[in-house]
Chains A and B, each alone.
Chain A
Amino acid sequence: MYEDSGTAVVADLKISAPPPGAIILGVDFLKHSFANARPDVEVVLNEMDSAARRADAVIRGMVEFSAYNKRDVKDHDLSRIVEQSLRSVESELAANSIRLIKNLAPNLPPVRLDLKTIKHVLLNLLTSAILAMAGGGTLTVRTYVKQLSEDPGWSGRTPGQLKSGDRVVVAEVEDDAPGVIESKLADKSDRAFPTEMIRKGVLDLMVLKKVVELYGGMIRIINREEGGIKVAIMFKVQPKD
């Protein structure tokens, strides 16, 4: 079911959507053509450029995930998937002098998902954190089980997804890099932050959210008060047969 609808949408996007890259180049042209125009023209063009780049990131993310059109959904141990994903970024962690704090719960109850896709989501989150901490930092990765005590409607819950009382397995990726995530999905603290402190993810977070939701899961992004970002993905524990 997942692959049919997802792939059809992406195929349609590839064929019929105008490439945002062309809009970005068009904006570049207008910026130079109207360099001496009234100052708000540049503001408008910068907004257009930013919107087109965001659209580009969404399309790119969807195309990237559609590559996994043969999904193999079965029960998995999320700690093992996190462990495997961490192994793939070991050299990047070392190259960027990033300290890893790993706290993976053993014997987690199984969650139902496609290994390759969720590994890809985790790799995106890890890479994004590593890029943000290029000068060094601490990456904390943990997994655990918890019972949802609140209605997790923080990122626009869709029907049939997690609700209060559900037991979930959570994987968290936390960094201490400066800057906050600019996204509708992110909890923004009240602290003011300059534009240059706004970080972009490797892939658009909306895409990651949709992918996680395909497996009945949820994603939560928190801009930490003390600096850095925490991203949690969670999936419902499968009931025992």
Chain B
Amino acid sequence: MGKKRILVVDDETSITRLLKMNLELIGNFEVREENLGARVREAAREFKPDLILLDVMMPDMDGGEVAAGLKQDPALRKTPVVFLTAAVKKEELGAPDGKIGGRTYIAKPLNIKGVIGVIEKTLSKHSGASA
């Protein structure tokens, strides 16, 4: 099975770089980084990710706004988005799937095993739903 493509979006370059290195070392993923919310749509159209990890709070554009833009794009609207946020704590993500209001969140600080677990679960649900 080919590597799944993950687009990682966060305004902190150190976070995206280390997420990429970790996901490529530990998981079976091909990762592209993006640090500007305004460029996510273009990057996603080009990279065609299987899943997008999207920071909620970015200085140029809020993650919710970026996600809304992706939903309006026919080529990207089915791409699952997992939000990365420091605004909720791990303890507050009570649901095992980390969902709040229908969206999947991962609480920062990120733990790579946890991130991979959520990616795999989301991808398997998504492939089941689209099959």
Query: What is the interface of chain A, defined by CB distance below 8 A to chain B?
Result: 18-22, 24-26, 28-29, 32-33, 52-53, 56, 60, 127, 131, 202
Distance from A88 Cβ to chain B, minimum over Cβ atoms (Å): 14
B110 touches A21 (CB 8 A): yes
Q: Are A52 and B111 in contact (CB under 8 A)?
A: no
B interface, size bucket: 10 to 19
Whether the pair B91, A53 counts as a contact (CB closer than 8 A) is no
Contact between chains at A29 and B25 (CB < 8 Å): yes
Looking at the assembled complex, report how far the CB atom of A202 sits from the nearest CB atom of chain B, in whole angstroms: 6
With A32-B26, A56-B109 known to touch, is A25 a contact of B15 (CB < 8 Å)? yes
B14-A22 in contact (CB<8A): yes
Classify the interface of chain A: helix, strand, loop or mixed: helix
Q: Which residues of B contact A (CB under 8 A)?
A: 12, 14-15, 18-19, 21-22, 25-26, 86, 89, 91, 108-113
Rank and list the top 9 A-B pairs by shortest CB-CB distance, nearest first. A25-B18, A22-B14, A21-B109, A28-B112, A24-B109, A56-B109, A29-B22, A131-B91, A32-B26
Q: Which residues of A contact B22 (CB under 8 A)?
A: 25, 28-29, 32
CA A21 – CA B14 in complex, angstroms?
Answer: 9
**Which one, A21, A29, A33, A202, contacts B15 given CB within 8 A?**
A21
B91 touches A20 (CB 8 A): no
Q: Are A22's CB and B25's CB within 8 A?
A: no
